[in-house]
Structure 1
Amino acid sequence: MGGPDRSGRAVHPAVDRVHVVVPDGIDDPARVSGGNRYDREVCDDLRNAGWTVVEIAAPGSWPRPDATALDALARSLDALPAGDLVLVDGLIASAARPVLVPRSGRLRLVVLVHMVFGGDAVDERDELAVLAAARAVVTTSAWTREQLLDRYALSPARVHVAHPGTWTAPASPGTAGGGRLLCVGALAPHKGQDLLLAALARTAGLPWRCTLVGPLDRDPLFVASLQRQAGDAGIADRVRIPGPRTGAALQLEYRGADVLVVPSRTETYGMAITEALATGLPVIAAEVGGVPEAVGRTASGVPGLLVPPDDSDALAAALARWLTDAEVRCRLRRAALRRRETLPDWRTTGRRIRTVLSAVGAERERPPLRTEW
């Protein structure tokens, strides 16, 4: 259970038991997100591998918690045995300096970073303090790891990558014309659906229909502006906005599409990209953040078209190229099917996470903390 025994010697904690701090409601289909999906898959994999997993749901508006949310998290952690492993979702961890740093000597903290805040919503000093206090940090992309190491003075040996996995899915049959466009992600400015609608307005003379799948409650004003934008451009009847989709319903959207469009302004990886590639769908995406890492490359080339970020003209040109050039569509589909064969599955992700947790659990002494933040 951790702590000294009667002789004063440190007792080695269990290395197959972990407490996982996750946002409250991670399984709510109305609050679907890549981070929530990742957390659920990791918890399930740990259990399948024989680990004891205790989930701690952290209520509150993270990453901007109020005092009540911080107090609830503190009480949950104070109830844990000394020396226990605690894996904390970065949405919570980065904003929980007052709770996590004072407890980092008693608990073996590992932080799972889905995105770097770095002054946006969370003060850089708070984020650094938490990451420096953690025994290890896991990121979901190499790009995110590089961002952390560039921004903060962290030991590279303590910062690891565990890419999101995928599950095997039937290949999308596609259509000859390639006009079924799909965009998956919360309808919010950082996902860039306004850029996509602007690009679609420029290609209104071509045959296409577009579906925007994702939660509608993150920024209702933005959703309303998208609906006005589509109406003003005369394309509202060709744009479907069905709300969030998960599980089999989301797989149906992938199978019914010809290409995934990712117009994001920021993206640390892009789980929708690998999910689409798992069904053989090519990708048209803004070349931002970890997107190129997710898209990947095959012997048949890149399974998609990458365009400059925040550039609706470049996106329109890529869409027009896809819609008008059958040879391009065939080439990208071949590459997507090859990429489908090389994607890591969630078991691979789980093994990486377990390796990090096991190493932290095996540490007998707390490494010294950095204090110059």
Structure 2
Amino acid sequence: MNEFTLIVAGDPAQLTGGYVYDARIVEALRATGWTIDVIGLEGRFPEPDAVASHALDSALTRQPEDTLVVIDGLAMGGLPAIVERHASRLSIIALVHHPLADETGLGTPEQQRFRISETRALAAVEGVMVTSVYTARRLADFDVSADRIAVIEPGVELSPIEKNEESNAIPRLLCIATITPRKGQDLLVEALSELADLPWQCQLVGALDRADHYVAQVREAIARHRLEARIELLGSQPLERLPAFYAGADLFVLPSHYEGYGMVITEALAHGLPVVTTTGGALAHTLPDAAGIKVVPGDVSALRDAIRSMLEEPETYTRYRAGAREARETLSDWQTAAEAFGIALARFGLSKERP
């Protein structure tokens, strides 16, 4: 029977990229007859506290022998001893969106601690699912051999492009990303402050409760540059409302320092939007060259110039919009991604040799 247990850190219904990926895969697999039990763990992650440790241990203890269990990397990377404890009686698969050690803002000791911990945890599992070729290559530094990795890139929901061919009278920029240091919204505010001579509006959509100090920093920058009337911090929005944001935008901007894939990039392409982003992590691969402009992460001047060229040069904007719509035709849907996920699960789940 096609069934497995998925374990994630915290509420499975969270609207950040990794959780959305997990939910879409589960939804698509269930539609084809899979039975999937989704467990959200209490406690603090990825630097686990006692509550988190107990939650993962209890969740695995409850699983019958030989159960196929997929654990999101955020939930297991900091708890290698627990993964090791249950690995002999369960078929455990890791789902890694990006290594914990690659999170922006970590000091060297934290990076080293996560690298050691995650390397140990990944050594204990049957196989590793990743969401990009970039992350697959990155895991070589965590001693994961290529034959133990399956790359399952995200899908998209393709629907007719609702936006008119004409742009908004005042160009509307859109950034959908949790407001955290890795996403780089502070850099976007600084870049836009140097484009005050141009007409534009910008919407920042994303959770405001993950990094209070950073959110305050972004708000302060908006106020300092007197951009309150031009940059909106809209917080997290329901998934069903996001298509309207894409449809109402002229340009998508993701200034991240690093992404393990960058699902919102393909979502923007699915809506025919040209993109300005960075080459951080997998982003250099996720965005086709013909569909937008990529700059070095952290370079405010380059980000500013890329946005300016999109706003000031109609030929540049039109060329990249056409490229985005061409790229749209090459995107895969979630059902295709889920089928590949199921095939990889079967491969890894059957690989365990038991006495």
Deviation of 1:332 (Å) = 0.6
2:348 paired with 1:357: no
Paired position in structure 1 for 2:187: 195
Paired position in structure 2 for 1:61: 44
2:117 paired with 1:126: yes
Deviation of 1:337 (Å) = 0.5
Q: Distance in 2 between matches of 1:209 and 1:350?
A: 37
Q: Which amino acid aligns with 1:283?
A: V
Contact kept, 8 Å, 2:29 with 2:335, in 1: the verdict is no
Q: Which amino acid aligns with 2:39?
A: I
Contact kept, 8 Å, 1:88 with 1:112, in 2: the verdict is yes
| Matched-pair identity in % | 35
2:98 paired with 1:109: no
Paired position in structure 2 for 1:305: 293
Q: Which amino acid aligns with 2:350?
A: A
Equivalent residues in 2 for 1:3-18, closer than 5 Å: 14=1, 16-18=2-4
Equivalent residues in 2 for 1:127-166, closer than 5 Å: 127-149=118-140, 151-166=141-156
Paired position in structure 2 for 1:219: 211
Contact kept, 8 Å, 1:262 with 1:284, in 2: the verdict is yes
Paired position in structure 1 for 2:106: none
Paired position in structure 1 for 2:275: 283
Deviation of 1:177 (Å) = 6.0
CA RMSD of aligned residues (A): 1.7
Deviation of 1:327 (Å) = 0.5
Q: Tell me the secondary structure at the aligned position of residue 237 of structure 2.
A: coil
Contact kept, 8 Å, 1:24 with 1:57, in 2: the verdict is yes
2:73 paired with 1:90: yes
Q: Which amino acid aligns with 2:286?
A: A
Paired position in structure 1 for 2:12: 26
Contact kept, 8 Å, 2:46 with 2:77, in 1: the verdict is yes
Deviation of 1:178 (Å) = 7.0
Q: Which amino acid aligns with 1:102?
A: R
Contact kept, 8 Å, 1:141 with 1:290, in 2: the verdict is yes
1:239 equivalent among 231, 237, 250: 231
Deviations 1:181-237 (A, max 9, x none): 011101111111111011101110011110111001111222222222112112221
Q: Distance in 1 between matches of 2:188 and 2:10?
A: 31
Query: CA 1:206–1:53 in structure 2 vs 1: closer, same or farther (change >3 Å)?
Result: same
Paired position in structure 2 for 1:3: none
Contact kept, 8 Å, 2:43 with 2:55, in 1: the verdict is no
Q: Tell me the TM-score normalised to structure 1 length.
A: 0.89
Q: Tell me the secondary structure at the aligned position of residue 123 of structure 1.
A: helix
Contact kept, 8 Å, 1:112 with 1:137, in 2: the verdict is yes
2:239 paired with 1:256: no
Paired position in structure 1 for 2:20: 37
Q: Which amino acid aligns with 2:146?
A: P
Q: Distance in 1 between matches of 2:249 and 2:160?
A: 13
Query: CA 1:64–1:260 in structure 2 vs 1: closer, same or farther (change >3 Å)?
Result: same
Paired position in structure 2 for 1:321: 309
Paired position in structure 2 for 1:11: none
1:75 equivalent among 48, 53, 58: 58
2:83 paired with 1:100: yes
Select between 157-166 and 218-227 the one with higher mean Cα deviation.
218-227
Aligned length: 345
Deviation of 1:62 (Å) = 1.1
Q: Tell me the secondary structure at the aligned position of residue 204 of structure 1.
A: coil
Q: Tell me the secondary structure at the aligned position of residue 88 of structure 1.
A: strand
Q: Distance in 2 between matches of 1:253 and 1:268?
A: 23
2:275 paired with 1:293: no
Contact kept, 8 Å, 1:178 with 1:258, in 2: the verdict is no
Uncovered stretches (5+) of structure 1, i.e. residues with no partner: 1-13, 368-373
Q: Which amino acid aligns with 1:212?
A: L
Query: CA 1:303–1:271 in structure 2 vs 1: closer, same or farther (change >3 Å)?
Result: same
Q: Distance in 2 between matches of 1:366 and 1:104?
A: 12
Q: Distance in 2 between matches of 1:268 and 1:40?
A: 17
